[in-house]
Structure formats: C-alpha cells, structure tokens
Amino acid sequence: MKTKNRRISLTYCLLLSCILLSFLLCVVVRSPKANAEENGKTCVITSCDTADGFSEGTNFDRTSYLEGEGCVMNVNNNIGIYYSMLGLDRASMPAYEDAWFEAFIYIDKPEAVTESQFELLGTGISDMYENSLSFQAMDLKAGWNFISHKVDNSNKEWAVNVGGTFVYEEVKAMRLYFLSNETLTVRLDYVIFTDTPHNYTQEDLDSMMKGEPLGSTEWTTSSDVAGIGQSFADIVPYTDTGCNASYSYSNMIIFSGCIFICSIFIAFKKGKQKGIFKRK
C-alpha cells in the first residue's frame, strides 16, 4: 500500500511536470501561422475609406485612390489633415524597434509647397512630444507617392522629440500639413505601422490607381490653417510614465521556465521526504 501511494505521488509529480513542459513548448514552438503573423505585424492607423475621425475640411474622395474604397482629400493653400489615434488597436502595433510608418500621399503641385511635415503626435497637439518627417524627407513628386520610414528615433529622417520625448506606444494623433501661396490638392490613403516595410515603384502606383468621375459633387475646402485640430477630439492628457513594460512571449518563456524548474525541485524534495527516491 505504501509503495502504491509512492507511485501515485510520483505519477502526479511527473504529470504536473509534463503539463508545465507542454505549456512551455507551446509557447516556444508555435504554429507557422502564428509565427508568420508575428513576423508580419501591421497596425492600420486608417484605411482612409471614410473621413470619419479626420479634422473638418478633410473629405472622402473616390476620384483618385489606391487602396480600399477611397481616400481622404483636402483642397486649399494651407492644408492640415489631422487624424486622432485614440481608437487605435495598440495590440496590433509592431514593436518600436521594428516599426515603420507608411502611407500613400497625392499632391498636385509639390513645387508650390513652402513648408510641410508629417507629424506623429504624442499628446494629440502639435509641437508637444512629437516626431515629424520634413517635406524634404518625404521627397514627394507630383501625383501619387509612397512613403516608408522607420519610426526608431535613431532614424535621422525624423525631427525627434519636439517639445518633449516622443513615446511611440502612446502616440495620440497624426497630422499632415502643407503651406503654400497657391491652392493645393492633397490626398491621403492607407496609413499604417508595420514591421515589414514595402516598396512601390512609380509603375506600381500607376497600376494601383483607381477612380470615378467627380460628376456634380463639390468638395468643401478647409479654412483651418495648418489643421492643428485640438478641438476635433477629446485629447487624453499626456502622462510621462517612463519606461513602458509590455507583455511578450519572451516573458512567458522565462516565467514558464521558472515554474517548471520550481515544480521539478518541489516534486523531488517531496518525493525524497517520502522516500520515493531512496535506493532500495
């Protein structure tokens, strides 16, 4: 009877250890699909298939677009296209060190631009905890363009930490603005964060272009100079939380490994106390 109890105790200990080991293996050796999803993580900031979420004066447009059902457009000499990211699916954001910022931008007269930036806003307000791409960095030509820039602050294409330290994980909004002495037409389509940067030639962009005749539709123009847009959304007050901890599979592996080792140690200790591991 005593030997039988020992065998049962040993069986339970081994079963517990196997369960924990299986969990560890499931974390480390996941399905190819899961690994592929992690290696190709993309966060769609906005598909631009609606003007919802954009500042006043930015309109939905189907006369010329590249992705989805349309794009957003603004026509003026001082253009500000502002979009709040308060509803962003942050779980889909790639890691900061791997993240690229990509978008399709149309402009009819880049030579008439006197100033322009594409800004990522840490508070939702310009010039506060901001990273921004200059007009020169975007290198826009007349027609549709594709921009792809690594978000990492070490990337010298960005003006970084304007008005305070920009925290990628806490980004609140974006703003694309153009200043000019002439009336410009600007379109924006499919803006994303991704860890898999893309590359489109001008031939690719031309082949992707879709559109419908404008007809009798008249687009309203924006009177919002540079489109700051603080009044557009309820901006969450910025709090500098310092180092941001995040849950990851590496944390799971370390945690599971510690539990597994501890369970083996406890099982061995209890077994030794009960004489399970004593030599006969």
| pLDDT tens figures, 18-32 | 455 554 444 433 333
Average pLDDT over residues 213-231: 42
Distance CA 38, CA 190 (A): 21
Position 271 scores a pLDDT of 62
Max Cα–Cα distance, the chain, nearest Å? 96
Distance CA 61, CA 187 (A): 8
Instruction: Kindly report, residue by residue over 121-177, the tens digit of the pLDDT.
Output: 998 888 888 999 999 999 999 999 999 999 987 778 888 888 888 999 999 999 999
The mean per-residue pLDDT over the stretch 175-195 comes to 96
pLDDT tens digits for range 59-108: 999 999 999 999 999 999 999 999 999 899 999 999 999 999 999 999 99
Q: How far is CA 105 from CA 68, 190, 191, 273, in A?
A: 15, 9, 9, 72
pLDDT of 69 reads: 94
How far apart are alpha carbons 239 and 241 in whole angstroms? 6
Average pLDDT estimate for 99-121: 96
pLDDT at 12 over 70: no
Whole-structure pTM value: 0.65
Cβ count within 10 A of residue 154: 8
Domain ranges of the chain: 2-30+247-273, 40-227
- What does the pLDDT average to over 218-236? 37
* 40-227 is classed CATH 2.60.120.260: yes
Q: Note whether 43 and 89 are within 8 A (CB).
A: yes
C-alpha triplet 193, 198, 199: angle, nearest 5°? 140
